[in-house]
């Protein structure tokens, strides 16, 4: 199991200039029981609220159908029938691209009317064979179905036509950036940075598309999804002293044998590891911050931070976004979490009596609760694989 691939999904969107709401919708879902990931990008007709409704309805419906393995042609007919009809154009319309991927490798891509996906293997584009299907009911629509067994380091890129048509009206790009332009950009970017994360690549593509636009204003909704198949990056987060002191040694051994990165959150926990593994630990003054205690440097450990204040701040940033201009311990820990795919939490359950002092100027969360909130968020919002062990 541990060797199966991990799929990192990165998305980035920019709404049409002047609109406050996205006309494209992206929706991804993990089905852990089936070891399967589904990701959908839909572009609604027009822009703004109306397009948003069309595309979000499409993604929700498509997700239900794909999830329950319903036959696709039939499903798409149902979807088209269900979409509200545009008053202006008298058609109901939203496009979609769907990637349905099993962690063991089987991946299917369904596309209707979006620019064709880009598949990258070994730094080169790969043309995946595809079948065309069309519905007798909606004759002008065809659905392309491609199937492929994915390998380590493969990437699939989905985009809305806002990407390929970026630059229309700009003399330099009379036909827009086009899929080829985007493909060239992707190849160049991957060549420069072969391990670029899905998130960074999606963002780079959208930014580059905006660069092409007249006055750098998005002429349409621009959306991109990148799926990156790779070996999982593992992280062990150790926080809190074990309830039973006898366990100290065991916990320390976990740290020294772990096959991935390690983070320790909590002063007492750090003391235990320092003592058990005879490691030297020093405060890292470059992480100074008025609100968050500084992190420490311990040999062989990727990050050592204070416990509860740092974790509380990490939770806030996972919800609201990372503080880009800071480099305190909480920012470092958040980055480490976001850069990992599989995170193993080991949570000590001993209560710190000093934290229960009613005279403290603020209430301190109980470690177990804040860790629970963090891993739920990492699971649901960031699609990370999480394990938790209480000791």
The tokens describing 61, both together, are: 């419906």
Helices 329-338 and 308-320, packing angle to 10 deg: 60
The tokens describing 167, both together, are: 């630059």
Q: Are strands 234-239 and 261-265 parallel, antiparallel or unpaired?
A: parallel
Q: Using the rule CB under 8 A, give the single segment among 38-46, 104-112, 351-359, 377-385 that binds another protein.
A: 351-359
How far apart CA 47 and CA 165 sit, in angstroms, is 15
Query: Between residues 28 and 305, which has the closer beta carbon with respect to another protein?
Result: 305
State the nearest-atom distance from the C-beta of 55 to another protein, in Å: 46
Q: Which residues pair with 289 in a beta bridge?
A: none
Angle (CA) 341 343 347, round 5°: 170
Q: What is the CA radius of gyration of the chain?
A: 24
Are the CB atoms for 138 and 169 separated by under 8 Å? no
Query: Between residues 220 and 306, which has the closer beta carbon with respect to another protein?
Result: 306
The structure tokens 């950036």 sit at 177
Are the CB atoms for 336 and 303 separated by under 8 Å? yes
C-alpha 202, offset from chain centre? 10
State the nearest-atom distance from the C-beta of 304 to another protein, in Å: 9
Q: Is 270 in the site for another protein (CB under 8 A)?
A: yes
The binding track of 211-250 with respect to another protein, each residue x by CB under 8 A or -, is ----------------------------------------
In 3D, which of 64, 60, 54 has the Cα closest to residue 24? 54
Which listed residue (360, 369, 381, 387) binds another protein by CB under 8 A?
A: 360
User: Interaction with another protein in 276-305: which residues (CB under 8 A)?
Assistant: 283, 285, 288-291, 293-294, 296
Are the CB atoms for 132 and 142 separated by under 8 Å? yes
Q: Is 115 in the site for another protein (CB under 8 A)?
A: no
Q: Is 313 in the site for another protein (CB under 8 A)?
A: no
353: number of Cβ within 10 Å: 7
By the 10 Å C-beta count (0-12 exposed, 13-18 middle, 19+ buried), 365 is classed as: middle
State the nearest-atom distance from the C-beta of 293 to another protein, in Å: 4
Contacts with another protein by CB under 8 A: the residue count is: 27
Q: Which residues pair with 335 in a beta bridge?
A: none
Query: Between residues 184 and 244, which has the closer beta carbon with respect to another protein?
Result: 244
C-alpha 379, offset from chain centre? 10
Q: Using the rule CB under 8 A, give the single segment among 13-21, 108-116, 250-258, 265-273 that binds another protein.
A: 265-273
Which listed residue (79, 308, 343, 374) binds another protein by CB under 8 A?
A: 308
The binding track of 48-67 with respect to another protein, each residue x by CB under 8 A or -, is --------------------
Q: Using the rule CB under 8 A, give the single segment among 21-29, 80-88, 263-271, 313-321 that binds another protein.
A: 263-271
State the nearest-atom distance from the C-beta of 267 to another protein, in Å: 4
Q: Is 382 in the site for another protein (CB under 8 A)?
A: no
Q: Is 259 in the site for another protein (CB under 8 A)?
A: no
Provide the sign of the torsion angle of the four alpha carbons 317, 323, 328, 334, taken in this order.
positive
Q: Is 358 in the site for another protein (CB under 8 A)?
A: no
Query: Between residues 219 and 348, which has the closer beta carbon with respect to another protein?
Result: 348
Are the CB atoms for 182 and 170 separated by under 8 Å? no
State the nearest-atom distance from the C-beta of 307 to another protein, in Å: 6
276: number of Cβ within 10 Å: 16
Q: Is 362 in the site for another protein (CB under 8 A)?
A: yes
Which listed residue (100, 213, 220, 306) binds another protein by CB under 8 A?
A: 306
Are the CB atoms for 145 and 109 separated by under 8 Å? yes
State the nearest-atom distance from the C-beta of 298 to another protein, in Å: 11
Residues that bind another protein (CB under 8 A): 267-268, 270-271, 283, 285, 288-291, 293-294, 296, 306-309, 352-355, 357, 359-362, 364
């Amino acid at each position: 199991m541990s060797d199966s691939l991990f799929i990192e999904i990165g998305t980035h969107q920019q709404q049409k200039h002047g609109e406050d709401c996205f006309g494209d919708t992206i929706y991804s879902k993990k089905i852990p029981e089936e070891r399967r990931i589904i990701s959908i990008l839909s572009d609604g007709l027009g822009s703004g609220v109306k397009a948003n409704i069309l595309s979000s309805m499409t993604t929700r419906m498509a997700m239900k159908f794909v999830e329950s393995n319903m036959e696709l042609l039939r499903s798409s007919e149902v979807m088209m029938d269900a979409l509200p009809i545009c008053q202006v154009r008298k058609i109901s319309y939203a496009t979609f691209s769907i990637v349905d991927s099993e962690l063991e490798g089987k991946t299917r891509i369904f596309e209707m009317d979006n620019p064709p996906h880009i598949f990258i293997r070994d730094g080169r584009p790969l043309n995946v064979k595809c079948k065309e299907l069309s519905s007798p009911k909606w004759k002008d629509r065809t659905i392309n179905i491609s199937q492929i067994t994915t390998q380590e380091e493969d990437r699939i890129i989905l985009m809305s036509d806002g990407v390929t048509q970026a630059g229309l009206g700009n003399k330099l790009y009379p036909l827009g950036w086009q899929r080829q332009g985007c493909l060239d950009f992707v190849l160049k970017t991957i060549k420069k940075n072969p391990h670029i994360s899905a998130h960074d690549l999606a963002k780079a593509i959208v930014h580059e598309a905006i660069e092409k636009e007249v006055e750098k204003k998005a002429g349409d909704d621009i959306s991109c999804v990148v799926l990156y198949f790779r070996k999982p990056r593992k992280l062990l987060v150790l926080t809190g002293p074990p309830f039973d002191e006898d366990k100290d040694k065991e916990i320390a051994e976990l740290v020294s044998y772990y096959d991935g990165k390690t983070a320790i959150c909590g002063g007492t926990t750090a003391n235990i590891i320092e003592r058990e593994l005879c490691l030297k630990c020093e405060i890292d003054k470059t992480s100074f911050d008025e609100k968050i205690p500084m992190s420490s440097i311990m040999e062989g450990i990727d990050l050592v931070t204070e416990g509860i204040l740092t974790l509380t701040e990490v939770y806030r940033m996972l919800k609201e976004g990372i503080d880009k201009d800071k480099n305190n311990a909480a920012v470092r820990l958040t980055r480490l979490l976001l850069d990992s795919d599989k995170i193993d939490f080991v949570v000590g359950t001993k209560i710190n009596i000093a934290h229960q002092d009613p005279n403290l100027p603020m209430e301190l969360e109980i470690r177990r609760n804040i860790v629970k909130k963090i891993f739920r968020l990492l699971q649901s919002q960031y699609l990370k694989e999480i394990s938790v062990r209480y000791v």
